A and B are shown apart, each in its own frame.
Chain A
Amino acid sequence: MATLKDLKIRINSVKSTRKITSAMKMVAAAKLRRAQEQAEASRPYAARMNRMIASLAGAATQAGGPKLLSGTGRDDIHLLVVFTADRGLCGGFNSTIIRAARQRVRALRGEGKTVKLFCVGRRGKDALKREFGDIIVGSVQDVTRKGVAFASADELAAQILKMFEDEDFDICSLLFNRFQSAMTQIITNQQIIPASVPEVEEDSSASESGALYEYEPDEEAILAALLPRNVATQIFTALLESNASEHGARMTAMDNATRNAGDMIDKLTLNYNRARQANITKELIEIISGAEAV
């Protein structure tokens, strides 16, 4: 049976834990709002880029098109870019994405493909290097620490494009948590190289203009400039979604932790009071029985 003092210490320590988790929840909530706003603000660019690619790709696919669009003609080597957080304490956020990555690697290997991994975020690298250390070809950390900048997405894209030029892989896809709400994140697997042509607005662009676009300088030159941009944009979107998801997951996890700490404090306080009352009763009995004996 724990003594009164032990219980008191326990209660105090749980109380300070609760303070920490509730503070983390507040911070995550504030960051989540900012991350969501940022994700919202980046949508027009991605939407317009998709519209342009859709109209260009139609014109260019007959002619074969650049490699980024048509692929290398093989699908033997897959590069999987896994987006995780740099820090833990965000519920199942990291473990679900890592589990999905493992499954994906095994599935691709089952089909006889070679898989390479690129880790964004420290958690993913730490968890995956035990099993797949030999196939991790690159990793970056602390991208999202001070908010997501397009420059960091651009740098990532440059690295990946360089690998593509060196023919280190045939197909590249991103694996990240898409933000749905603070409670739910959807694991998304999105192929970026070769680019999947968005099918949206196929007819709306035609009806709106009534004529085909003119291209300056020409389709191929524009596509050659546009497709690497598109890779960077998609990586940027993934970073933003993953960032918002992380903060959402952390907020939910810390909210639960705060509530659990509260429950625990209630239970411990009850035990504490019971023990205190038992002590008092025991002392009273001792006094009374002492008085009767006299």
Chain B
Amino acid sequence: MAETTQFELVSPEKLLYSEAAEMVVVPGTEGYFGVLPRHAPMISTLEPGVIDIHQNGSVAERIFVAGGFAEVTETRCTVLAEEAQVLKDVDTAKVDSEISDLRDDLKDAKEELDRERIERRIKILEALRAAAD
């Protein structure tokens, strides 16, 4: 087998995913980037988007992350995600209803802090919805 990168996906609650992958494509703030073995060390922030894990020349797993950080070294790629979901398990109907619920909340929300939080949440869910299609 070809050289691999140790890919790790960590959420605050637990280590979600740890596997050797051929290539990982990560949604960086300045565009998606692919991580192959012996990639130059870098640290990047992430946008809401989809991580593609390539195995044997094809996409083995697609995971949605709601933002976070990626740390790449020559041998591994660590993603600290705020929230992660395997894309094929996403229930689009549920996401839709959650978005519309949040829109209603936004109308009622008075405090600026709440509004900002809800708006951010809607943005994430919309990205998830777009990715799931």
- On A, residues with C-beta under 8 Å from B are 38, 41-42, 44-45, 48-49, 51-52, 55-56, 150, 153, 158-159, 162, 208-217, 221-222, 225-226, 229, 232-233, 236
Chain A contacts of B12 at CB under 8 A? 42, 45, 150, 153, 232-233, 236
Report yes or no: A225 in contact with B69, Cβ–Cβ below 8 A. Answer: yes
* CA distance in complex: A236, B82 (Å): 13
| Distance (whole angstroms) from the CB of A45 to the closest CB of chain B | 5
* CA distance in complex: A162, B112 (Å): 11
Report yes or no: B113 in contact with A162, Cβ–Cβ below 8 A. Answer: yes
Q: A209-B73, A217-B30 are in contact. Are A44 and B15 (CB under 8 A)?
A: yes
- The answer, yes or no, to whether B44 is at the interface (CB within 8 Å) is yes
* CA distance in complex: A1, B44 (Å): 79
Chain B contacts of A55 at CB under 8 A? 43
Chain A contacts of B78 at CB under 8 A? 48
Given contacts A45-B15, A214-B40, A232-B12, 13 further A-B contacts (CB under 8 A): A41-B13, A44-B14, A45-B80, A48-B80, A52-B69, A52-B80, A162-B113, A208-B73, A215-B43, A221-B45, A225-B45, A225-B69, A229-B82
Chain B, 1-40, CB within 8 A of any chain A CB: 8, 10-15, 28-30, 33, 40
Least CB separation from A237: chain B residue: B12
* CA distance in complex: A216, B46 (Å): 10
Chain A contacts of B28 at CB under 8 A? 216
Chain B contacts of A38 at CB under 8 A? 13
* CA distance in complex: A98, B96 (Å): 46
* CA distance in complex: A52, B113 (Å): 28
Q: A158-B117, A221-B45, A222-B69 are in contact. Are A216 and B14 (CB under 8 A)?
A: no
Q: A45-B12, A51-B71, A158-B117 are in contact. Are A216 and B45 (CB under 8 A)?
A: yes
